[in-house]
């Protein structure tokens, strides 16, 4: 366990104040506001108006449960999800195969986030995409250096500050041009219009609930206040009152994070539904920015671009953190975080340097995420339902049922996304 992790056996007088317990979910929640989310929600609102409001809301509800289960695993066991799987997967080649798919998914996520940052720098300052990708990578390495040298708390402060910028940048336009309340109400009725709306619904969910956020949250929770003896549920029973308190505030942490992430994602869709419906070219980040500038003025468009930049910077840092944890937990190899960040930048920079359409790269990254969803969700639900893993803190029956339902729905929708994309 990291030396800065808090242990169950710590003196009760040293227990952190309530506010100090908040933070891990806010960091993990940045994954729900990455450039892939922006592109999916903006396109959905521009093409189908308020039709898919219910998808954003439903996705956020499922995300709450999934992120809480991930955090609970880290709090009670003192291990991240990759670490638990690393001890349970006895077959060396099976463990390596699982690592490979998780690593590829994390890299695909990182690809979208670096590209999003590069596009934002291009929109704001006219910086060439390749140079923007290098700048985004360099800033993310600086943020990771804060995490490596100063511990999780300063890293959380920086990411939460970026989260505030993201929120302001993407929500500002809704106040300038408010959406139609009747349209929002109609959008809460679950329905589809055509194959394209199904594709976008699956894309929204695929961009919302991402494997690396699940891996990262369990690790962030472990680093802040995991159990004293990793992997042993009995260790948590040495001070059950403290574990219950941590889980209580973890629920609050996840609730706050999901309210913020869900509200921002909803505002992005509503902004497009109210102001960009039927406008050509809004199926790309550049096109959406141009349409906002033409329809609502340069100030709103600039806020949007600043939010996109903060989104790329914050989410790529969290993605790199998750990737390092995946490697450590499954392969028992700890590569320096900054060195790994440098290596994972290469695919994104190659794509930008080759002139591949950024929007196409974002779509392909969502396809890769779809492949990784079952490998993260199924073990998470199974492990948190096991008493041998969480002891008395294992899921109640209704929680397990809800987790299974969410998992089945997400896998079905992501399978639909793959089918529609590959058959197009």
Domains of the chain: 20-423 (1.20.1740.10)
Cα(324)–Cα(177) distance, integer angstroms: 42
Q: How confident is the model at residue 19 (pLDDT cuts 50, 70, 90)?
A: low
pLDDT at 233: 45
Q: How much is the pLDDT for 272? A: 93
**Distance, C-alpha 411 to centroid of its chain:** 17
pLDDT value for 14: 40
Model pTM score: 0.88
DSSP state of 84: H
According to the model, what pLDDT value does residue 10 have? 39
- Six-digit token string for 70: 């991930």
Q: Average pLDDT, stretch 132-160?
A: 86
CB atoms inside a 10 Å sphere around CB 350: 13
Which of 87-91, 357-361, 380-384: highest mean pLDDT? 380-384
Give the mean pLDDT of 340-353.
85
**Structure tokens belonging to residue 342:** 């440098």
Instruction: Summarize the confidence of residues 179-201 as an average pLDDT.
Output: 91
* Mean pLDDT (whole number) for 60-83: 95
Neighbouring residues of 113: CB distance < 8 A, sequence distance ≥ 6: 34, 35, 36, 136, 311, 312, 315, 316, 319
If you average pLDDT over residues 197-213, what whole number do you get? 83
Considering only 56-60, 167-171, 227-231, 326-330, which range has the smallest mean pLDDT? 227-231
Lowest mean pLDDT: which of 53-67, 165-179, 188-202? 188-202
**Confidence label for 70 from pLDDT (cuts 50, 70 and 90):** very high
For residue 182, what pLDDT is reported? Answer: 95
Q: Would you state the pLDDT for residue 270? A: 96
- Distance from C-alpha of 102 to C-alpha of 81, rounded to nearest angstrom: 12
**C-alpha pair distances (Å), 141 with each of 31, 132, 151, 327:** 17, 14, 15, 18
Can you tell me the mean pLDDT for 195-216? Answer: 84
The CA-based angle 25-26-27, given to 5 degrees, is 90
Q: How many CA atoms lie within 13 A of 141 on its CB side?
A: 15
Closest residue by Cα to residue 129 from 143, 111, 144, 156: 111
Nearest Cα neighbor of 29 from 269, 283, 250 is 250
Rounded to 5°, angle at Cα 78 from 73 and 84: 65
Residue 18: pLDDT band (50, 70, 90) is low
Residue pair 2/220 in contact (Cβ under 8 Å)? The answer is no
- Whether residue 15 is predicted with pLDDT greater than 70 in this model: the reply is no
Nearest C-alpha neighbor of 113 from the set 216, 184, 2: 216
Percentage with pLDDT > 90 across the chain: 50
Q: List C-alpha distances in Å: 214 to 25, 39, 123, 284.
A: 10, 21, 31, 27
pLDDT band at 20 (very low <50, low <70, confident <90, very high): low
Report the pLDDT averaged over residues 67-84: 95
pLDDT above 60: residue 313: yes
So what's the pLDDT on residue 210?
Answer: 84
Q: What is the pLDDT of residue 1?
A: 41
User: Where is pLDDT greater, at 394 or 334?
Assistant: 394
pLDDT digit string (tens) for 364-417?
Answer: 776 677 778 899 999 999 999 999 999 999 999 999 999 999 999 888 877 877
Please give the mean pLDDT across all residues of the chain.
Answer: 85
Q: For residues 383 and 375, give the distance between their C-alpha atoms in angstroms, rounded to a whole number.
A: 13
- pLDDT: which is higher, 109 or 139: 139
Q: Taking residues 115-122, what's their average pLDDT?
A: 93
Q: Is the pLDDT of residue 420 over 50?
A: yes
């Amino acid at each position: 366990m990291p030396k800065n992790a808090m242990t169950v056996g710590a003196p009760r007088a040293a227990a952190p104040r309530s506010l100090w317990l908040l933070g891990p979910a806010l960091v993990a929640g940045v994954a729900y506001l990455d450039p892939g989310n922006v592109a999916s929600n903006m396109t959905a609102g521009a093409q189908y108006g308020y039709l898919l409001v219910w998808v954003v809301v439903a996705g956020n509800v499922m995300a709450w449960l999934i992120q809480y289960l991930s955090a609970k695993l880290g709090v009670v066991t003192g291990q991240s999800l990759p670490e638990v799987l690393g001890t349970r997967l006895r077959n060396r080649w099976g463990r390596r195969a699982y690592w490979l798919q998780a690593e590829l998914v994390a890299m695909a996520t990182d690809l979208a986030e670096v590209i999003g940052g590069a596009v934002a720098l291009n929109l704001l300052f006219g910086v060439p995409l390749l140079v923007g990708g290098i700048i985004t990578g360099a800033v993310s390495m600086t943020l990771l250096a804060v995490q490596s040298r100063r511990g999780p708390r300063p890293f959380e402060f920086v990411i939460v500050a970026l989260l505030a910028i993201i929120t302001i940048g993407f929500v500002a336009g809704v106040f300038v041009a408010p959406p139609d309340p009747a349209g929002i109400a109609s959008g809460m009725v679950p329905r589809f219009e055509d194959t394209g709306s199904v594709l976008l619904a699956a894309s929204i969910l695929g961009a919302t609930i991402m494997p690396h956020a699940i891996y990262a949250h369990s690790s962030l929770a472990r680093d802040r206040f995991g159990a004293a003896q990793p992997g042993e549920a009995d260790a948590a029973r040495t001070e059950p009152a403290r574990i219950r308190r941590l889980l209580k505030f973890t629920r609050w942490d996840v609730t706050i994070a999901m309210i913020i992430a869900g509200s921002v994602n909803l505002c992005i869709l509503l902004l497009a539904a109210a102001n960009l419906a039927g406008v050509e070219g809004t199926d790309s980040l550049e096109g959406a920015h141009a349409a906002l500038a033409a329809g609502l003025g340069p100030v709103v468009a600039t806020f949007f671009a600043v939010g996109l930049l903060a989104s790329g910077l914050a989410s790529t840092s969290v993605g790199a953190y998750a990737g390092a944890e995946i490697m450590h937990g499954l392969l028992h190899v700890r590569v320096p975080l900054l060195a790994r960040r440098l290596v994972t930048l290469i695919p994104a920079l190659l794509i930008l340097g080759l002139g591949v359409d950024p929007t196409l790269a974002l779509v392909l990254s969502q396809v890769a995420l779809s492949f990784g969803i079952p490998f993260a969700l199924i073990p998470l639900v199974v492990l948190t339902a096991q008493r041998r893993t969480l002891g008395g803190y294992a899921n109640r029956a209704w929680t397990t049922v809800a987790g299974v339902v969410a998992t089945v729905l997400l896998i079905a929708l992501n399978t639909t996304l793959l089918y529609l994309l590959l058959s197009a």
